Amino acid sequence: MADYNTKQYQRIPSISGRATQSNPNGESSGLQARAAVTSLDQIQTNRNKQLGRGKHCGRFSVRGQVPNSPETRFHRVNCKSWNCSYCGPRRAKRYKRAIRATAEALQLRRFLTLTLDPSKIDGDPVQYLNRIFAMLRVYLARKYGTSIQYIRVLEFQKNGNPHLHILIDRYIELEWIRKAWVAVGGGFEVKIVFVDVHHVSRYLSKYLTKDLLMSAPARSRRVTTSRGISLLEKPNSETAWTLVKVSIPRLFEGYGRAVNAVWFDQDQLLESFTAILSESREMRNSKANSGNAGSHDHANACG
């Protein structure tokens, strides 16, 4: 479930492009590499035309008992779709934060860009790109004797051709990676940029934009990682959640006075609330029936 770090309310409202310089290793300096990845300077790469909030976004809720508490928590269920005007930008922000933190922690200090030659594409471009990237990973494993660590982001150019931006954990000679990429079926345009570890966050904030992360078409995996890297780990929760096919505003209105705390998201939309619920009518009837049955048995025994 979501991390409830949003603000809690007890009162409930009504509702220049500088020239790129290279170092002796053939890599571009990270802070002077604005011209090195030109496609990222264009916001027009986004092929997903957002039509608004997802059809089922926020339509349902979940409920769960707060551990060691009489409170029951109700939480809004979002669609988490990249194409949703509400969930897409938030998901992109989460990925940006996770990528920055992981890159710094694992010293992923090379920023590699791999493109395609349109004349070589066989079939679906994304599937073709994934296929030849898997072949490149075999080349790299043979060269270094171990698998590389990486975070890979898929981007689409204005002309619809996909390419990859990859953070990797080691130095790779530019000419070697270019020859290997062309050999497996990639394009000749290959760039590798060195990013100083102290400036990874600043560099990625400039280039891994929300528009880049949302540029891929539906059902495409925008961000992938090597084995062992997990960007968005689900937090452990002791609460067992149950789906409620009712929206959070209707639940909030229905429980009324039982509500004792509420949480809102960044847009001040109701996200979750807790309530102390009284016994349900069914439970009271069940206890009453049990009590009547016990009294009847006691009377028979005395008789």
Contact 194, 58 (CB under 8 A): no
Could you tell me how many helices (H) and strands (E) the chain has, helices first? Answer: 7, 12
User: For the whole model, what pTM was predicted?
Assistant: 0.63
pLDDT at res. 178: 96
Q: Does position 104 have pLDDT exceeding 80, yes or no?
A: yes
Q: Is 93 helix (H, G, I), strand (E, B) or coil?
A: helix
pLDDT at res. 11: 36
pLDDT at res. 285: 46
Q: Which residues contact 226 (CB under 8 A, 6 or more apart)?
A: 147, 148, 149, 150, 151
Contact 162, 129 (CB under 8 A): yes
pLDDT at res. 26: 47
Summarised one tens digit per residue, pLDDT across range 8-59 is 433 333 333 333 344 444 444 443 333 333 333 333 334 444 457 777 899 9
Kindly indicate the confidence band of residue 292, based on its pLDDT and cuts at 50, 70 and 90: low
Average pLDDT, the chain: 74
Residues facing residue 194 across a β-bridge = 29, 110
pLDDT at res. 287: 45
Short-list 200, 254, 26, 224, CA closest to 130: 224
pLDDT at res. 223: 84
Kindly indicate the confidence band of residue 295, based on its pLDDT and cuts at 50, 70 and 90: very low
Summarised one tens digit per residue, pLDDT across range 124-158 is 898 999 999 999 999 999 999 999 999 988 888 77
* Residue range 147-170: mean pLDDT, rounded: 86
Q: How far, in Å, CA of 154 to CA of 215, rounded?
A: 8
Q: How far, in Å, CA of 21 to CA of 32, rounded?
A: 7
Higher-confidence residue of 281 and 205: namely 205
pLDDT at res. 200: 66
Name the token pair of 276: 């102390």
pLDDT at res. 248: 93
pLDDT at res. 214: 59
Summarised one tens digit per residue, pLDDT across range 173-188 is 999 999 999 999 999 9
Kindly indicate the confidence band of residue 198, based on its pLDDT and cuts at 50, 70 and 90: low
* Residue range 74-98: mean pLDDT, rounded: 85
Q: How far, in Å, CA of 40 to CA of 157, rounded?
A: 9
Q: How far, in Å, CA of 217 to CA of 126, rounded?
A: 10
Q: How far, in Å, CA of 109 to CA of 193, rounded?
A: 8
Share of residues in the chain with pLDDT > 90 (%): 32
Higher-confidence residue of 32 and 88: namely 88
pLDDT at res. 215: 60
Summarised one tens digit per residue, pLDDT across range 201-247 is 566 656 566 566 656 666 677 888 998 888 877 766 677 889 999 99
pLDDT at res. 35: 35
